Structure 1
Amino acid sequence: MDTVEPRDASSVIVTFTFVTVDGRTESEKHRVSVVENRGRLSVYDSERIGAA
């Protein structure tokens, strides 16, 4: 995980950079929604929103 940016009261935008099996480096942005679960934040939903 490269960056985490607030989006709204219950979600963030996360940027991931990874190396593919053929050696290329790629980055993606995902929206991640969270909910409180017994005093902790848990991922409720996520969606790829595009290349970073």
Structure 2
Amino acid sequence: MAVPKKRTSKAKSRSRKSNWTQKAVHKSKKAISLGKSIISGNNESFIYINETAQDNNT
């Protein structure tokens, strides 16, 4: 017969939710930073091929 499990405390569930949101915040900050570096042309660790610039030159 099925037995109900014990309830998870609010502190534990809030902690898990906080970790989940902080991961998303960290990823979004990295994505914004990468986008800014691509736009400014200061990117060194990311290879970006601008196809529109190549199409205009040919």
Q: TM-score range by the shorter chain?
A: under 0.3
Q: Which has the higher contact order (CA 8 A, sep 6+)?
A: 1
